[in-house]
Amino acid sequence: MSLIFAAKLYNMTNRTFTMIKPDATEKGNTGGILQMINKAGFRIVAMKMTHLSKEKAGEFYAVHKERPFYGELVEFMSRGPITAAILEKENAVEDFRKLIGATNPANAEEGTIRKAYATSIGENAVHGSDSNENAAIEGDFFFSKLEQF
């Protein structure tokens, strides 16, 4: 295996993408969430605060286009600023999904970010990629190669 390919594979399987959603930004929970992320052993390798337009929010969640909650989701995600970040850790995608907890905070386990900060199934504080492939696509949606450390 070439060194370049090995490095690429390493990045794909050890990185995930997250967003701190507008509800968490509004409530001043950005710092608390970042602290939970760091304490769980994730290293921040890219980060920015930005405000998604409806068009960009719709594009990011395009896989949910046919779902009944899509309109509500786009409205919510474009309501205010978000913090986007790429996180690095061994087994990043799976471990981060465990750290954020269930989509519906009513089902989220103690110690998870959604248990601590989410208020409803729609306004659930954080996003986490669901596969290595999507982690790479979503990271590239927000960050150029020069911004991924």
Catalytic residues: 127
If we measure between CA atoms, which residue out of 99, 89, 103, 101 comes closest to residue 132?
Answer: 89
Question: If residue 18 lies in a helix (H) or strand (E), which one and from where to where?
Answer: strand 15-20
Give the shortest CB-83-to-ligand ATP separation in angstroms.
14
* φ/ψ bin of 86: left (φ > 0), alpha (ψ from -120 to 50), beta (otherwise): beta
Q: Which CB sits closer to Mg ion, 30 or 134?
A: 134
Nearer to ligand ATP, 8 or 71 (CB): 71
Residue identified by tokens 């020069």 is 146
The answer to whether residue 75 forms part of the interface with ligand ATP (CB under 6 A) is: no
By a kind-dependent CB cut-off of 5 to 8 A, residue 103 interacts, out of ligand ATP, Mg ion, none, with ligand ATP
Taking residues 100 to 129 in sequence order and writing x for each that binds ligand ATP by CB under 6 A, - otherwise, the string is ---x-----------------xx-x--xx-
Beta carbon of residue 122, minimum distance to ligand ATP (angstroms, whole number): 4
CB of 40 closer than 8 Å to CB of 98: no
Q: Which two tokens stand for residue 1?
A: 């295996």
Structure tokens at 118: 């989410």
72 binds ligand ATP (CB under 6 A): yes
Q: Cα separations (Å) of 70 from 31, 64, 95?
A: 28, 6, 27
When asked if residue 141 is in the footprint of ligand ATP (CB under 6 A), the reply is no
Q: Which residues bind ligand ATP (CB under 6 A)?
A: 64, 69, 72-73, 103, 121-122, 124, 127-128, 130
